Amino acid sequence: MNKTAIIDADFLFYIVLQGNKVLDELGEPIKEDGKFVYIEKPFEQACSEIDNFITNLLNVTNADSYTGFFGGSSNYRLNYNPEYKANRKDLQPLLNMKEMKCYLADKWKFNWLVGQNFETDDVCLSFNKENVNSFIISPDKDLKYTTGIRYCPKKNEWLNTTEEDAVYFFWQSMIVGDAADGIIALKGKGIKYFERLFNLHIKDKKNITL
């Protein structure tokens, strides 16, 4: 049975477009103020690296075919929460981003989600639900809120989110929030509070009042 890999390509840019570390005379990375020093990576090198990375992903997952998506917008979420991902504003923009997007669209025929008000992981998930013999390749943590099998390239492992897992992670986000995206849910209610509440609900099968 043919398997189609659905690649959430947004993470690839942060892997291949990160600059090269500056090394000292002993070949050790140089740090300034506790941070590594980088120089711009030649675009040709980045293209070669992304070709190898994608090829390896398809080989490791034994995919028979693939489709890829990148560039989905999260701006619509700012209409509801101005602090959404505000903690990422200080990140330095990646060089050659537009050029690499053009390269992926041309060389690999990935889908550039220009002007679409959906995040890339949402589009990948929708495509996955419409195509039975498919799986998602992505490190995106938001995918744990829905059932299904995906391959996480950062951990080099397959993840299978059951319906019970999805319910658990969903309500965790509703109560605890998501610090990585700057989302605060119930003030003063952390992970320990949620786990106690959730375990109590599972044990007693009762509706819990927060």
pLDDT tens-digit profile of 5-55? 999 999 999 999 988 888 888 889 899 888 888 888 999 999 999 999 999
Q: Report pLDDT for 17.
A: 94
Predicted local confidence at residue 75, as pLDDT: 58
Model pLDDT, residue 1:
63
Q: Which three-class secondary structure string do you get for the chain?
A: CCCEEEEECHHHHHHHCCCEECECCCCCECEECCEECEECCCHHHHHHHHHHHHHHHHHHCCCCEEEEEECCCCHHHHHCCCCCCHHHCCCCCCCCHHHHHHHHHHHCCCEECCCCCCCHHHHHHHHHHHCCCEEEECCCHHHHHCCEEEEECCCCEEEEECHHHHHHHHHHHHHHEEHHHCEECCCCCCHHHHHHHHHHHHHHCCCCCC
pLDDT at residue 74, rounded to an integer: 58
What is the reported pTM?
Answer: 0.75
| Per-residue pLDDT band at 210 (split at 50, 70, 90) | very low
Mean pLDDT score of the chain, rounded to an integer?
83
> What pLDDT score was predicted for residue 72?
74
79: pLDDT strictly greater than 60? no
Residue range 96-110, pLDDT digits in tens? 999 999 999 999 999
What integer pLDDT is reported at residue 203 of this predicted model? 47
Q: Which residue has the higher pLDDT, 181 or 179?
A: 179
Selection from 77, 76, 90, 60 nearest residue 154 by Cα: 60
The pLDDT of residue 73: 64
Residue 19: the pLDDT is: 87
pLDDT at 87: 46
Architecture of domain 4-161: 3-Layer(aba) Sandwich (3.40)
Q: Which residue has the higher pLDDT, 122 or 189?
A: 122
